[in-house]
């Protein structure tokens, strides 16, 4: 039976919201964007042009769009981390279904506030854990669910953040300081990974420990004579591995979507104009050892689950090549893979054979998942497809991350930061019970 497209408003028109809204252009019979709330006039204009929005459907902030009443079936909330819960509650009160960017809450109080409200009002909320929809992780989940490696003994995951993205986002960028962004680095960057960890191991987390530290960007490592900004000028500007000149001037295209977002015609700028923008109009040439950040450069989390299995996740900054790797040891086999390569190896124990096991490589690049391609192997669009299905009351895929499905991974991230800061062992079972889970 034909159904009208789900209508949606955009609250926070940044990079992620722009990606999700593209689904309305790919599948106009399923989704239609009808309004936007975004403080930046260039981004508001982008949405207005792309989706044919009239001026009276372009708002400057979340308060304005909620004051206008319910304008659509659903809202896509891509605001900054610290705004997620304060902007989501009024949207839910108006009756919107909600697609909410991660991390959906910054602490356990916010997590409980949002989850309690959604449960009490039977709200439809989905969290943007897009990696669950990536072919690589979907295929691993299917192998585990099918019993290919038996019962899980230990899951080991690692995320190695590239040296450039580390400096852009977590030193000079929005997530350099917890007090500004609201999110510790583990929650902001790795809640995807911890969501996957708890998704693969369906047992209940029981206990947790975590260690972490600032290592790469500790002020004690600042080179002698370094100035506060690269273009002050700094005597190390041509040799420093974090030089704004090397990264942002000599390789402008490398971080075009992060550094130069406010420049409508980057190609028209001269080098001196680019230098002035980095030095005088923004913080992009700030010394990485004098940036005022309060985040860490590595953190390791170990979880013991109720079935006595283990989950270990390590995040580290400064890698030459950014990667996500995974190793899962089971009672009858193991899985090892690299997300960037989109392949994993499945080994199964065969005691009767000379080698002791069989081995097959699974290439997830060849999987056809509803014809979607692009970033994360088309994961963003598959998530949007599930969101539309949720709004229509249809059956969801096994990757679906409705709010209740996302609580455990977020709580692991929050409690890992607490364990690191306070040097404690966390009772995860008790923490889940306190949330009514």
Strand 58-59 vs strand 426-427: parallel, antiparallel, or unpaired?
Answer: unpaired
Q: Are the CB atoms for 126 and 401 separated by under 8 Å?
A: yes
Q: Concatenate the DSSP letters of all residues of 295-316 into one string.
A: --SEEEEEEEETTS-EEEEEEE
Helix (H) or strand (E) holding 274: helix 271-276
Query: What is the tens place of the pLDDT at every residue in 327-348?
Result: 999 999 999 999 999 999 999 9
pLDDT (tens digit, 9 = 90+) per residue, 226-281? 999 999 999 999 999 999 999 999 988 888 878 887 787 888 889 999 999 999 99
Q: What confidence tens digit (pLDDT) does each residue in 13-58 have?
A: 988 999 999 999 999 999 999 999 999 998 999 999 999 999 999 9
Long-range contacts (CB closer than 8 Å, 24 or more residues apart) made by 41-46: 42/262, 42/264, 43/13, 43/14, 43/18, 44/13, 46/13, 46/18
Task: Give CA angle at 33 (28, 38), nearest 5°.
Answer: 150
The C-alpha angle 403, 114, 18, rounded to 5 degrees, equals 65
Q: What is the pLDDT of residue 368?
A: 61
| CA-based nearest residue to 258, from 181, 320, 326, 172 | 172
Q: CA 42, CA 246: separation in Å to the nearest integer?
A: 28
Q: Do residues 35 and 4 touch, judged by C-beta distance below 8 A?
A: no
Stretch 171-183: mean pLDDT = 80
Work out the mean pLDDT of the chain and round it to a whole number.
92
Q: How far is CA 367 from CA 20, 207, 373, in A?
A: 22, 36, 11
- Nearest in space to 231 (alpha carbons), one of 285, 274, 291: 285
Average pLDDT over residues 212-227: 93
H-assigned helices in 22-176: 23-26, 41-51, 62-67, 84-93, 108-120, 135-145, 163-170
The alpha carbon torsion through 76, 82, 85, 86 (nearest 10 deg) reads: -100
Reference 341, options 371, 316, 366; nearest CA is: 366
Per-residue pLDDT, 416:
97
Predicted local confidence at residue 372, as pLDDT: 60
User: Using 50, 70 and 90 to split pLDDT, how confident is the model at 365?
Assistant: confident
CA 106 to chain centre: 13
CA distance 244 to 367: 40
Q: Which domains does the chain have, with CATH numbers?
A: 6-101 (3.40.50.720), 131-217+293-434 (3.30.360.10), 219-281 (no CATH)
Which of residues 3 and 106 earns the better pLDDT score? 106
Model pTM above 0.85: yes
Asked whether residue 370 carries a pLDDT value surpassing 80, the answer given is no
**Which token pair is 355?**
């080698």
DSSP H or E segment with residue 418: helix 403-422
């Amino acid at each position: 039976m034909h159904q009208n497209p789900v209508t949606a408003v955009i609250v926070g028109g940044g990079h992620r919201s722009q990606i999700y809204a593209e689904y309305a252009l790919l599948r106009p019979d399923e989704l239609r964007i009808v309004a936007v709330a975004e403080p930046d006039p260039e981004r508001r204009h982008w949405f207005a042009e792309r989706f044919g929005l009239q001026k009276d459907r372009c708002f400057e902030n979340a308060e304005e769009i909620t004051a206008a009443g319910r304008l659509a079936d659903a809202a896509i909330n891509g605001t900054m981390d610290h705004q997620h819960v304060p902007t989501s509650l009024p949207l839910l009160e108006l009756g919107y279904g909600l697609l909410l960017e991660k991390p959906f809450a910054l602490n356990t109080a916010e997590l409980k506030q949002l989850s309690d409200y959604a449960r009490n009002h039977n709200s439809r909320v989905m969290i943007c854990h897009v990696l669950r929809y990536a072919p690589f992780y979907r295929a691993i989940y299917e192998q585990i669910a099918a019993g290919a490696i038996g019962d899980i003994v230990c899951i080991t995951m690692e995320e190695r953040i590239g040296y450039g993205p580390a400096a852009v986002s977590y030193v000079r960028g929005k997530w350099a300081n917890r007090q500004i962004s609201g999110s510790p680095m583990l929650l902001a960057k790795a809640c995807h990974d911890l969501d996957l960890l708890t998704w693969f191991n369906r047992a209940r987390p029981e206990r947790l420990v975590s260690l972490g530290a600032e290592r790469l960007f500790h002020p004690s490592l600042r080179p002698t004579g370094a100035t506060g900004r690269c273009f002050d000028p700094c005597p190390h500007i041509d040799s420093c591995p974090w030089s704004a000149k090397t990264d942002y001037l000599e390789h402008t295209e490398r971080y075009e979507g992060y550094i130069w977002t406010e420049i409508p015609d980057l190609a028209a700028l001269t080098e001196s104009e680019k230098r002035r923008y980095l030095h005088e109009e923004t913080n992009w040439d700030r010394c990485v050892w004098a940036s005022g950040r309060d985040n860490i450069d590595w953190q390791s989390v170990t979880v013991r689950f109720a079935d006595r299995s283990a989950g270990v996740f390590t995040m580290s900054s400064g890698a030459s090549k950014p990667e996500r790797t995974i190793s899962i040891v089971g009672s009858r086999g193991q899985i090892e893979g690299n997300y960037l390569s989109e392949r994993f190896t499945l080994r199964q124990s065969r005691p009767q054979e000379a080698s002791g096991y069989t081995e097959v490589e699974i290439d997830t690049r060849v999987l056809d998942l509803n014809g979607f391609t692009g970033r994360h192997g088309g994961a963003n669009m598959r998530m949007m497809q599930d969101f539309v299905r949720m709004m229509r009351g249809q059956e969801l895929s096994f990757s679906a991350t409705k709010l209740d499905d996302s609580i455990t991974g977020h709580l692991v991230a929050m409690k890992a930061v607490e364990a690191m800061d306070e040097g404690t062992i966390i009772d995860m079972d008790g923490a889940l019970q306190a949330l009514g889970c």
